[in-house]
Amino acid sequence: MRTISLFGTLVAFLGIASGADFAADIEPIFRDKCYGCHGEQQQFGQLRLDSRSVATSTGPSGPRIIPHDAQASSLYQRVAGLGEGNRMPMGGQLSDAEVALIKSWIEDGAVWPEGRGADAALNQHWAFVPPTRPEEPQLSNGQRAENAIDRFVLARLAAEGLEASPRASKETLIRRLSLDLTGLPPSLEDTQHYLDDTAPGAYGRLVDRLLASPHYGERWGRIWLDAARYADSDGFEKDKPRQVWFYRDWVVDALNADMPYDRFVVEQVAGDLLPGAAQQQRVATGFLRNSMINEEGGANPEQFRMEAMFDRMDAIGKAVLGLTVQCAQCHDHKFDPISQRDYYRMFAYVNNFHESTQAVYSADEDRLRGEIFAEMREIEAGLRELSPDWRERMAEWERAEATNQPPWTVLDAHIKLGSGEKYEVLPDKSILAQGYAPTRSVVTPEGQLEPGTVRAFRLELLPDPRLPLGGPGRSFRGTAALTEFEVEVAPAGDPKKWKALKIARATADVNPEMSILDPFLFPDKDNKRRILGDVGFAIDGFAMSAWSTDPGPGRRNMPRKAVFELAEPLEIEEPTLVKFKLSMNHGGYNSDDNQSLNLGRYRLSFTAAENAEADPLPGHIRELVSRGGQRTPEQEEALFGYWRTTVAEWAGANRKIEDLWDKYPEGSSQLVLDERPMPRMTSILQRGDFLRPTERVQAGVPGFLHPMPERDELPDRLAFAEWLVDGDSPTTARAIVNRLWQGHFGTGIVETSEDLGRQAADPSHPELLDWLAVELMENGWSLKHIHRLIVSSETYRQSSRVTPSLLELDPNNRLLARSARFRVDGELVRDIALASSGLLTAQIGGAPVYPPAPEFLFQPPVSYGPKRWYTANGAQRYRRSLYAFRYRSVPYPVLDTFDTPTGNFACVKRDRSNTPLQALVTLNEPVFMEAARELGRRTLDEGGADDPERIDYAFKRVLARAPSGSERSELVALLGSQRERLQAGGLDAAQLAFGEQPSEPETAAGNTAELAAWTAVSRVLLNLDEAITRE
Amino acid sequence: MLRSHATSSPLARRWFLQQCGVGLGAVALRDMLQAADPLAPKRPHHAPTAKNVIFLFMGGGPSHLELFDNKPELAKHEGTLPPANLLEGYRAAFIDPNSTLLGPKFKFARHGESGAELSELIPHTAAIADDIAIVKSLVTDAFNHAPAQVMMSTGTQQFGRPSMGAWTLYGLGSESRDLPGFVVFSSGQKGPSGGNSNWGSGFLPSMYQGVQFRTSGDPVLYLSNPAGVDRRLQRDSLDALGRLNGMRLQEVGDPEIETRISSFEMAYRMQASTPELMDISQEPQHVLDMYGAEPGRPSFANNCVLARRLVERGVRFVELFHESWDQHGSLISGLKKNCRDTDKASAALVSDLKQRGLLEDTLVLWGGEFGRTPMVQGGTDDGRDHHPNAFTMWLAGGGIRPGTTIGKSDELGFNVVEDRVHVHDLHATILHLLGFDHTRLTYRFQGRDFRLTDVAGDVVKKLLA
């Protein structure tokens, strides 16, 4: 063979075309250079060169081998480096001689003798075939099965010559179940109750109780939040706090209600597009909005919107599809059949929403809003009743209003960059400010005026879905404050000769009463008082005062306008440049505190009319008035709602309504999706670079997955969401049941739970995975159903004891001849200390809390900028860790130390490290020490009559079991030795028992030394390996 | 049996069999677990020239034009617009790229036998010119701080990849039993823009991530015992914990319990060793003076002293962030202050390592995430914007050829024209010095082998001694 190859080389060298033999010349090249990626194991590009039927078929880039026509054969093109595709083989080329051999073989007819190579088709990867319910294996004698899970597991064990472990003790089981299902250890009473329940079905009752606990949603919600990359801040340099906890609570509530998983996904990907979408469905779309936001000075908003879109695709891939689609953002997926084109076609479904922030209200706030609106309607109905001629009067007012506005000409304005804020000029010539938001800035829109007269300028502030709460400003409430409005002109021919114009009078359609700018929300290190109020503040030449657009909650996110009348008419003879200086001096103290009151979207116009004033009518009312004609009842009600404010005799009723507005709840906000009316164009991006779009693509799904169902209208994001959870999806159900399994056993049936694709680890129990996936879908996608099946199985209920032979035969316990034993997730580590000690505040949901953390973490030079951390005292200090505020750039250190993800990207499988820094946390962190003191106190107060009884009490509180004799003696000895030291004055009893600064009533009780000794013992108990382990 | 992606632990398994079957002594047991420890020292691909790394990360983007890269032509063209062809496709963070050129604000002179040209701002660095290699041709992909820092730290702009320090620990393990193998300090006016992702472990096991130390209060989070707990109570508690955990180990047989016991013991040792390490008042006065360090006053200089002390104790990777170099304005005063804060200490660190024989196998890097524009920012001729196309770093020790300058930018300091060194190339070179073929130091994640250098990177041979 070698000689023949040599001959081939010689032939190529001499440039002689000569017949190449498949077996002698071609197959060896394929074997040595190609099979690695295109053979039995791997079949990149759906090509295997060891199979004649596949190799001679048509691939993604055309016919691979066309006999007698090498130039047209993609095989030859790729190895010769012709055409657009990457030259093959990747990472090394064939020699010229080898290329020539292939060429001549094809030119000679590509003769591939029968029987050469494998008689094989493409491997169909198991996870790309929809699951069907497999037959359950038969049990052999003596095997015990609770359900199908056990039959699959036992069959595999039997095949490997292994046996299941005996059941774990009841004490172990209740702690295991409680931790797995609720993330909290059982209380003493729970444990006792279960131990006492000897009737049949006790275990099932326990499972039911735990699955019905509201803490179930907290535990499994947190796991979903990892995949949803939940965090309470923006990430990147600024890492600004955001309000997204309504989404977190939505997840907890949905899981507690056992919302079907398909619905759970649909609401998160496209809840806003569901018919009749309510606040809850919109909140659910926070899932896609959990991406990071970069508002550092130089950031281009579109670039980082794209980064966020990539992150969303990654999250959908990992969390829902169980596939790593991310690779395909830059190039065709190397291992799975997802082409770059497929990627951007899927991308196109989700590439069409505004990054929006919506006001949201708690149930109580919503009730209050309902009451307020009802009362307003009642007052208005009363007015109509009292004045039966209101319709005529309103019509008369309308006629007067219809024509009283001067004509305005909108200025074509542009803004020079400088502060880092980015400006987009929209089709209506308004300017949208995005990206970095300087806290102090002067924005200078410029335009040109043509000959004529100008007597006044108008500044319109407009809403936009991309602004916080819809704008019109950029504060976290969507409000703005204009410190000063100035205008200058210069001849277009002499653009350096700027001359300021004097403004005589300003009017606006909102003129809030004077108030002091909240120095807490908008801190000013100068300690100067800044004030907000009517539009006169925008022309008073005083940098401390500003016109505010904020009349209070409920009406702050509306279009606003101000008109500035010139002292002297501006007579323009030559084209003239005009420049506005819009000063915004009412943000925080510098760029790092992330607080601004900048204008968000605005538009400038001018008029020649005399005495121009800001139209007091809101835009939508003005539109109704000037349009006239037929109106809907809603339009009439809106018109009436405005008109009544102009009726002098109704001052009393108007006042009452104003008072109601004063009661309007502040609410919270939530990042949501807001579908754009005009679809965005999606193109394939070369190397994922947003500046290098290539071919435009239409939305579509990859061919190797299930098809998009036929529908009448063009498929949109909602269709895509429904496709993700379609019953025909090969990976969706498998991915989620695999992760439920992972939560209970530490490792999934497929260990690579983020990737079920070709590179995935082999499933340990493939039939079981399919069985569970089908079971999920056939039971209304009920996750609780799957949990119940898993935890009811004998497999789950085994002891986790490791024997030497098991460790030898199955070190990673993939076969489940024993239950799993692993350190619990970071949140649970802390929650266990809180719950076992009795400190836990079990309140569900609400705004994030700030457990104690070292202040320096949130200040430079550790944090880029200063961050707020309002350390909680009292009950809020002891909320579950789920509720701890999550800054991405400086994560709460207790959780960070225990491998809790930061939310920078989707995570479906946590790391589980075991480090000295973790020991320092559980030994020394303040809340852990407070837990030790509380456990000590309770033990002394409630734990029994003598030391052994008390030790048993404390031990059971933490571990749900009684200590063994030697464990008890060890603890008695520790208690004794510390008592001795305390008595001898070797330890500061008061500090140990009460902390750094004990209060007098604490120390006056007289049992300080005993409390101190029990604190020491409790601290050891809380630090046991078993305490933070799911046994 | 199964194609598995997890690290199985054959050593733990062997331990179990021997421990339970034969009954090893506690000392042998511990030694064995050490061997199974993923942080145990490992051999790289080839003989390394560097064992340790100290990265002086000058966050914000130091101006190459005022510090290292003298451009007389830029001074000549001050006030004029840059040539249009330079700006094609160029994006700037803040300014309109078509802004006038700004000449260098400081004087340059040649230093040492190597004749390296350095600015008057950094006289101490000038004094060690013959010990360092200056690279004037660095290029990066990002021009915003957070992405560019994450690029410099992890080889990609995307968050979530392992940092250089994490890769180093993953590849080489740690020589220190009492201290983390990757330690991070921060000084300056701000914290690093890239936040903790600069020293994160990404998809590598989290034990490889950097641990932040600070120079006032507890050097490591929760290092001090709580009020009322003294060293002896801590010892008594650990003894009790060790025995109780040991009983559990006998009962359930999970080797992870032994790791837990070791972790607690190392925590206890850290409680003693770290304060001693952090106490720079033990240093002779002349050493403190050399750095400009003052015990008790947190500073970059103190951190430099600590970096040396850490390396002496076997810490593999030390990273000092000094985030102060973002001179959009106050270019002159800002640079003067920054150089006052860092020049002396950076040079002292190199000299100190050298005189102790540590420089031989310790690589020192000095530089930021990008350079600054030849164009002016602001109306006062006193600022520059971010610039990714050309910037300068210097390296010393650990197999770096001393007294050399490589690479060249064009006459405006805008683009690299000679010996382009992309961040990937820098990473490839660092890994090479540490004994690795950068294409072979990989970690499988999501079905793909990842590396620090992504799919690029060439070792900069001219930098090697």
Q: What is the full DSSP assignment across A969-1025?
A: HHHHHHHHHHHHHHHTT-S-HHHHHH-SS--HHHHHTS-HHHHHHHHHHHHHHHTSG
pLDDT, tens digit (0-9, with 9 covering 90-100), for B185-231? 999 988 999 999 999 999 998 889 999 998 888 999 999 999 999 99
A752–B323 C-beta distance less than 8 A:
no
Contact B178, B223 (CB under 8 A): no
pLDDT, tens digit (0-9, with 9 covering 90-100), for B363-398? 999 999 999 999 999 888 999 999 999 999 999 999
Residue A271 CB neighbours (<10 A) = 25
Query: Going by DSSP bridges, is the β-strand pair A531-533/A545-548 parallel, antiparallel, or unpaired?
Result: parallel
Specify the pLDDT at position A43. Answer: 67
A441 interfacial to chain B (CB closer than 8 Å): no
Specify the pLDDT at position A1002. Answer: 77
- In the structure, what pLDDT confidence band is assigned to residue A290 with cuts at 50, 70 and 90? very high
Measured distance CA(A198)–CA(A195) in Å, rounded: 7
Q: How much of chain A, in percent, has pLDDT values that exceed 70?
A: 97
Contact A438, A582 (CB under 8 A): no
pLDDT, tens digit (0-9, with 9 covering 90-100), for A76-124? 888 888 876 778 887 678 888 888 889 988 988 888 887 777 766 666 7
The average pLDDT across A715-732 equals 96
**Quick check: A567 pLDDT over 90?**
yes
pLDDT, tens digit (0-9, with 9 covering 90-100), for B152-166? 999 999 888 999 999
Cα A181 to Cα A172, A790, A982, B399, distances in angstroms: 14, 11, 42, 55
User: Contacts of residue A889 in chain B, CB cutoff 8 Å?
Assistant: 191, 195-197
**Phi, psi for A798 (deg, rounded to 5):** -65, 160
Buried-state track B420-434, b at ≥16 Cβ within 10 A, e below 16:
bbbbbbbbbbbbbbb
Token pair listed for A244: 């997204």
Touching B: A residues 549-608, CB under 8 Å: 592
A626 interfacial to chain B (CB closer than 8 Å): no
What's the CATH code, domain B41-215+298-463?
3.40.720.10
A1026–B266 C-beta distance less than 8 A:
no
The average pLDDT across A723-728 equals 96
Contact B106, B320 (CB under 8 A): no
**Quick check: A55 pLDDT over 90?**
no
A810–B1 C-beta distance less than 8 A:
yes
| DSSP state letters, A495-548 | TT--EEPPEEEEEES--PPPEE--TTTS--TT----EEESGGGGSSS-TTEEEE
pLDDT, tens digit (0-9, with 9 covering 90-100), for A817-857? 999 999 999 999 999 999 999 999 999 999 999 999 999 99
Interface pTM (ipTM) of the complex? Answer: 0.87
Burial class (CB in 10 A: 0-12, 13-18, 19+), A525: exposed
Whose tokens are 């290098």? That residue is A692
Chain A interface, best mutation among B34, B159, B199, B245, by max A CB count within 10 A: B159
Query: Going by DSSP bridges, is the β-strand pair A668-675/A682-685 parallel, antiparallel, or unpaired?
Result: unpaired
Query: Going by DSSP bridges, is the β-strand pair B132-139/B182-188 parallel, antiparallel, or unpaired?
Result: unpaired
Whose tokens are 């021919």? That residue is A493
Q: How much of chain B, in percent, has pLDDT values that exceed 70?
A: 92
Token pair listed for B89: 């496709």
Q: Which of A758, A923, A967 sits opposite B247 (nearest CB)?
A: A967
User: Contacts of residue B159 in chain A, CB cutoff 8 Å?
Assistant: 235, 292, 904-905
Measured distance CA(A598)–CA(A549) in Å, rounded: 11
pLDDT, tens digit (0-9, with 9 covering 90-100), for B286-323? 999 999 999 999 999 999 999 999 999 999 999 999 99
Residue A278 CB neighbours (<10 A) = 9
The average pLDDT across A488-494 equals 94
Specify the pLDDT at position B11. Answer: 37
Whose tokens are 């102060």? That residue is B324
B228–A991 C-beta distance less than 8 A:
yes
DSSP 3-state of B192 = coil
A965 interfacial to chain B (CB closer than 8 Å): no
A980 interfacial to chain B (CB closer than 8 Å): no
User: Contacts of residue B263 in chain A, CB cutoff 8 Å?
Assistant: 914-916, 918-919
DSSP 3-state of B141 = coil
pLDDT, tens digit (0-9, with 9 covering 90-100), for A326-339? 888 888 877 778 88
B109 vs chain A: nearest CA distance in angstroms?
Answer: 33
Measured distance CA(A225)–CA(A552) in Å, rounded: 33
**Quick check: B27 pLDDT over 50?**
no
Residue A994 CB neighbours (<10 A) = 20
How many contacts does A have with B, using Cβ atoms within 8 A? 299
Contact A8, A101 (CB under 8 A): yes
- In the structure, what pLDDT confidence band is assigned to residue A17 with cuts at 50, 70 and 90? very low
Q: How much of chain A, in percent, has pLDDT values that exceed 90?
A: 75
Specify the pLDDT at position A118. Answer: 72
In B, minimum Cα distance to A972 occurs at B240
Mean of pLDDT over chain A:
92
Specify the pLDDT at position A18. Answer: 56
Q: What is the dihedral of CA A835, A839, A844, A846, to 10 degrees?
A: -140
DSSP 3-state of A584 = strand
**Quick check: A794 pLDDT over 90?**
yes
Contact B418, B432 (CB under 8 A): no
Measured distance CA(B342)–CA(B121) in Å, rounded: 11
Contact A547, A535 (CB under 8 A): yes
CA atoms within 13 A on the CB side of A61: 18
Chain A interface, best mutation among B90, B157, B196, B440, by max A CB count within 10 A: B196
Distance of CA A959 to the CA centre of its chain: 35
Specify the pLDDT at position A627. Answer: 85
Whose tokens are 């060890």? That residue is A970
Specify the pLDDT at position B111. Answer: 97
